[in-house]
Amino acid sequence: DAGVTQSPTHLIKTRGQQVTLRCSPKSGHDTVSWYQQALGQGPQFIFQYYEEEERQRGNFPDRFSGHQFPNYSSELNVNALLLGDSALYLCASSLQRQLNQPQHFGDGTRLSIL
């Protein structure tokens, strides 16, 4: 049973560029959430996708956008990259109707901005 998978594992970009990160949820899950984890901090919620729509959003600017595909996989896009966007980006998946099963995380994509 495959868990949450994310690609790529590492990425180096320069300021002003754009980046796309990818996530495949755990088998059977239909909801994907994205989190940003800065060094030495806990993860911060970016947004959540369910039924191909953004359902909830955290306190992140519009430079952060996403998409969910019919197979429940998801992409996180970040435009006009800033040095402060350097972080570990985590994807978590869950099943909406299953109230007692919390979110499962992938190992993340480590994004470095030069």
Partner 1 sequence: QKEVEQDPGPLSVPEGAIVSLNCTYSNSAFQYFMWYRQYSRKGPELLMYTYSSGNKEDGRFTAQVDKSSKYISLFIRDSQPSDSATYLCAMSEVRNTDKLIFGTGTRLQVFP
Query: Contact residues for partner 1 (CB under 8 A)?
Result: 4, 31, 33, 35, 40-45, 48, 56, 58, 90, 92, 94-96, 98-108, 110
- Measured from the CB atom, is 24 or 33 closer to partner 1? 33
| Least distance from partner 1 to the Cβ atom of residue 96, Å | 6
Nearer to partner 1, 91 or 113 (CB): 91
C-beta of 67 vs 104, nearer to partner 1: 104
Q: What is the 3-state secondary structure (H, E, C) of the chain?
A: CCCCEEECCEEEECCCCCEEEEEECCCCCCEEEEEEECCCCCCEEEEEEECCEEEEECCCCCCEEEEECCCCCEEEEECCCCHHHCEEEEEEEECCCCCCCCCEECCCEEEEEC
* Phi, psi values for residue 51, rounded to 5°: 50, 40
Least distance from partner 1 to the Cβ atom of residue 100, Å: 7
Q: Is 39 or 84 the residue whose CB approaches partner 1 more closely?
A: 39
In angstroms, what is the minimal distance from the CB of 16 to partner 1?
Answer: 27
